[in-house]
Structure 1
Amino acid sequence: MVPLISVIIPAWNESRLLASTLEAVSKAQASAEFSFDMQLIVVDDGSRDGTGDVACAWADVVLRFPVNSGKGAAMFAGWQAASGEIVVFLDADLGSTAEKFPLLLEPVLRGEADLTVAKLPPASIPGGFGLVRGLAGRGVRLLSGYDSGAPLSGQRAMRSEVLRCCERKYQGFGAEVGMMVDAVRLGFRIVELEVPFRHRETGRTWQGWIHRGKQLCEVGLTLWQCWRKPAC
């Protein structure tokens, strides 16, 4: 039986790169070494640059938020609209490298993992100083015992059961970290694998510092929530 895969892409002001990402996702279905049906969902998180209009040309479902609500809220809304037995989350700015997403599906389809997480190649330009990743990695390890190599990765695939059991509504950029903590504590199997995705790099610019500062706050809040109210 051919599995149905729901691919969910949260997007905020990503009209410049979204079309190439969605085109690559569509090509991946035709070029993959195994067969699957696909439901493509884009969540336009209050964009002001026509992101939703770009999505309509490619996606099966486009959800539009009137205001920006954060990545966690967009991921949750996408999952609520998903019908697939396997759910894939991808960032909107992957461009042509999004075509590699079936690599995340293989361990799940073989029954070797319940959740797979992509480890991306090193950045080509200097970014932050590792504060957010360090906080995320230490938090996941302390709260679940799992030593993650990619706790912040937004590229992941999972059986829909994982999302049904992880009932928490995760906050903003802390969504991936919270999901990992809860999945481990609930006994799900995680496999991290290298996938040659590339996304936009902000580098050491004001935009990059603002993004990482917000990410640091939201990851910290999510870890506190996971500690205060464990999944099990």
Structure 2
Amino acid sequence: MAPLISVIIPAWNEEARLPETLKALDTYRMTRPQIAGISCKFEFIVVDDGSTDGTCKAALPWVDLVLRMPKNQGKGAAIHAGAKAAAGEICVFLDADLGGSAMNFPLLIEPLLRGEADMTIAELPRAVKPGGLGLVKKLAKHGVLALTGLSAAAPLSGQRAVRREILQRSGRSFPGFGVEVGILIDAIKLGYRIQELQIPFTHRETGRAWRDWLHRGKQFYAISRTLWQCWRRPVC
């Protein structure tokens, strides 16, 4: 039987960028329904995290399901809701602003279908424009290393594929932008195999405007909470 792949995209006010991302996914589904030589079925799920623009309307023509959060609850809650609604044995999480580069999503899935990994994480190309000071990434890397012993290259990447059983065994959600770090730590603690891959995804880059620093501040706070949660209440 062809495996079902659930592609879950959390989105907040992504009316402008989301359609191009979804069009790339739909094009792959319609033209190349195989990954690593294995026929697959796909379901596409967008979680509209309390958007105030037309994100929901923009998603409807392309996806199988749109979940609408009553208010903005953060990325962690959106991913948890999407995973709970998904039916696939493999869940793929992608950011809403990947555009045409979303066509590369099968590269995340191949190692799982070949039995080489239980979770894959995309390491994106180096940013073009100057961003932050690297404090958020350092916090995530050092936190994952301290709690698991794994030196992760891209612990914050929102582009990843994971066997559904990992999410079920973890059985918990993580706050906001700490969700990727939390899922990674739990997967390692539970003994699953992690593989990081260099994949040419491209998305909107943050700069050094005040809103970008505010975004990084929210990330730092959420990841700190997640690391504390994983330290105080380890999954096993």
| TM, length-normalised to structure 1 | 0.98
Within the candidate set 218, 221, 227, 1:217 is matched to 221
CA distance in 1, matches of 2:214, 2:65: 31
Identify the residue that residue 94 of structure 1 maps to in structure 2: 98
Task: Report the AA paired with residue 183 of structure 1.
Answer: A
User: Is the CA contact 1:28–1:100 (under 8 Å) kept in the aligned structure 2?
Assistant: no
Identify the residue that residue 146 of structure 1 maps to in structure 2: 150
Q: What do the CA deviations read for 1:70-90 (whole angstroms, capped 9, x no partner)? A: 000000000011000110000
Identify the residue that residue 183 of structure 2 maps to in structure 1: 179
Identify the residue that residue 28 of structure 1 maps to in structure 2: 28
Q: Secondary structure at the match of 1:117?
A: strand
Task: Report the AA paired with residue 210 of structure 1.
Answer: L
- Residue 39 in 1 paired to residue 52 in 2? no
Q: What do the CA deviations read for 1:130-177 (whole angstroms, capped 9, x no partner)? A: 000000000000011111000000000011111111112111000000
Task: Report the AA paired with residue 21 of structure 2.
Answer: T
CA distance in 2, matches of 1:66, 1:229: 29
User: Is the CA contact 1:28–1:101 (under 8 Å) kept in the aligned structure 2?
Assistant: no
CA distance in 2, matches of 1:164, 1:19: 30
Deviation at 1:20, TM superposition (A): 0.2
- Residue 13 in 1 paired to residue 17 in 2? no
> Unmatched 5+ residue regions in structure 1?
none
Aligned residues: 232
CA distance in 2, matches of 1:111, 1:83: 20
Within the candidate set 160, 163, 177, 2:164 is matched to 160
Deviation at 1:28, TM superposition (A): 2.2
Q: What do the CA deviations read for 1:179-216 (whole angstroms, capped 9, x no partner)? A: 11110000000000000000101211112111111001
Q: Secondary structure at the match of 2:196?
A: strand
User: Is the CA contact 1:28–1:102 (under 8 Å) kept in the aligned structure 2?
Assistant: no
Deviation at 1:123, TM superposition (A): 0.5
Q: What do the CA deviations read for 1:82-118 (whole angstroms, capped 9, x no partner)? A: 0001100000010110000000000000000000000
Q: Secondary structure at the match of 2:68?
A: strand
- Residue 60 in 1 paired to residue 88 in 2? no
Q: Secondary structure at the match of 1:15?
A: coil
CA distance in 1, matches of 2:27, 2:152: 30
CA distance in 1, matches of 2:220, 2:165: 29
User: Is the CA contact 1:14–1:92 (under 8 Å) kept in the aligned structure 2?
Assistant: yes
Q: Secondary structure at the match of 2:42?
A: strand
Deviation at 1:25, TM superposition (A): 1.0
Identify the residue that residue 118 of structure 1 maps to in structure 2: 122
Identify the residue that residue 198 of structure 2 maps to in structure 1: 194
| TM, length-normalised to structure 2 | 0.96
CA distance in 1, matches of 2:56, 2:88: 22
CA distance in 1, matches of 2:113, 2:124: 21
User: Is the CA contact 1:117–1:193 (under 8 Å) kept in the aligned structure 2?
Assistant: yes
Structure 1 runs of 4+ aligned residues shifted over 4 Å read none
> Unmatched 5+ residue regions in structure 2?
none
Cα RMSD (Å): 0.9
CA distance in 2, matches of 1:27, 1:155: 19
